[in-house]
Structure 1
């Protein structure tokens, strides 16, 4: 099975649009994963039918046992994050707690313990283009990289005899991105003709190369600034990175997203370019 992640150096490049299009026209047995757990949007384009829902427990947070607490306030004095507050009794606010455990160490009564807190939910769903593993990280919660890893595990469990694992990854170069590309065979970086996009593309390439994955690039809305598009192509040529496709600006993309469907379900210049991208990329990956 080929494991492919669609990623981007910055938000707003059209990464999820491209991932959804590839999933829609792949033509091979596949399993899907939405690894952009901070803003999981792939499901919006495929009308998934929920199969399972489970809690995700990530970062530990302090919990004060009111029966054992003697209201000395030592824990609050030592909490550098201001997470321990006095209401009717001393309480640890989960959103402010960083899980350091200092309060458990200094409490003379042993009234505080660290507990894994619910940080989100993990889902598996069925779509007309294969099974989908996805998740939602609750606002203010951490450990998004760990949640991405759990999503990938669910996707592998759903894979069966699939020829392709297609993951919609997060933007940027942080922990969620690293968790996404670890263990992948290839990444498709979606960029756009902008100065900041070129800068972030170079940063992302540096990170991806440390994981030994094959790197391909797709340039979305390439015709909006053809001079910068040429600079991106020059960069890819120097770095020996194949440009698998160039997608023109197309109002049909906006209409498709508004309608909650992949753009490839209607004929348009963008659809033609995405089909060419699919053929070029899959040929390089040995998929038919």
Structure 2
């Protein structure tokens, strides 16, 4: 299975719009949405069936047994996350607790235990031919990287024989992006021509380089700032990075997404441009002698 990961250094670049178009063009049998904090690929991939849902357990949370608690205050004094409250009895704030276990260790009355907590939900769509893996992390939980790993495992376990898997990653360079990068064959970075877009592009390129992953770049909404578009193209040339095309700003793209369609489902300029980017990406991904 060849795994193509689509990333952007920042949100709002059109990463998911391009990922959904690639899935449609490739008629992909396996794909995943690894933006577990705010998944939205399911809105435009046309699934009418309910997914198989599985609880995801992240880090445990501390719980205080008030019948055993002698209110010695050791737990509160030693909690570096300020998760122990006294209102009026000792209580753990689950949104602040990191499950480190210090409070359990220092409690002389053994009144504190770490309990497993559901931190999110894995979802798997499958019709016997195609597989779509995604998840939703619950508010206040910080184990997004671990959940991304589970999303990828879930996809591969069901669609191990698929020739191609397309993965829609998270914005930024944090834990979910690092987990997404692990084991993929190629990264396509979607950049917007803005100052923040260029800065974040450089950060995600450097992150991908640490994994030794083949990387290519395309520019979305290139015509909103030609000067910055040219800067991005020059940067790719200097860094000897494959630059595989421009996609114009297109108001019809918004209409398509709002109708639950991809930009290649309608006749529009962005859809025409993304087809060329798709073919260049596939050639680079499956090139002879490639990784």
TM-score of the aligned structures, taking structure 2 as reference length: 0.93
CA distance in 2 between counterparts of 1:33 and 1:22 reads 12
CA distance in 1 between counterparts of 2:77 and 2:226 reads 59
Any idea what the Cα deviations from partners look like across 1:106-129, whole Å, max 9, x if unmatched?
211111111232111110013799
For residue 60 of structure 1, what is the aligned residue in structure 2?
A: 60
For residue 37 of structure 2, what is the aligned residue in structure 1?
A: 38
Q: Structure 1 residue 65: deviation in Å?
A: 2.1
CA distance in 2 between counterparts of 1:284 and 1:77 reads 56
User: Between Structure 1 and Structure 2, how many residues are aligned?
Assistant: 286
CA distance in 2 between counterparts of 1:46 and 1:3 reads 18
CA contact 1:24–1:129 (8 Å) conserved in 2: no
User: Kindly tell me: are residues 71 and 103 of structure 1, through their superposed partners in 2, closer, same or farther at Cα, counting changes over 3 Å?
Assistant: same
| Cα root mean square deviation, aligned | 1.7
CA distance in 2 between counterparts of 1:88 and 1:121 reads 34
CA distance in 2 between counterparts of 1:172 and 1:255 reads 26
For residue 241 of structure 2, what is the aligned residue in structure 1?
A: 241
Q: Structure 1 residue 15: deviation in Å?
A: 0.4
SS in structure 2 of the partner of residue 187 of structure 1: strand
CA distance in 1 between counterparts of 2:218 and 2:159 reads 26
Q: Structure 1 residue 202: deviation in Å?
A: 1.0
Q: Structure 1 residue 81: deviation in Å?
A: 2.4
SS in structure 1 of the partner of residue 60 of structure 2: strand
For residue 140 of structure 1, what is the aligned residue in structure 2?
A: 140
For residue 105 of structure 2, what is the aligned residue in structure 1?
A: 105
Which range is displaced more, 80-89 or 115-124? Answer: 80-89
CA distance in 2 between counterparts of 1:134 and 1:107 reads 39
Report whether the alignment pairs 1:284 with 2:257: no
Higher normalized strand content (fraction of residues): 1
CA contact 1:34–1:133 (8 Å) conserved in 2: yes
TM-score of the aligned structures, taking structure 1 as reference length: 0.94
SS in structure 1 of the partner of residue 117 of structure 2: strand
User: Kindly tell me: are residues 280 and 127 of structure 1, through their superposed partners in 2, closer, same or farther at Cα, counting changes over 3 Å?
Assistant: farther
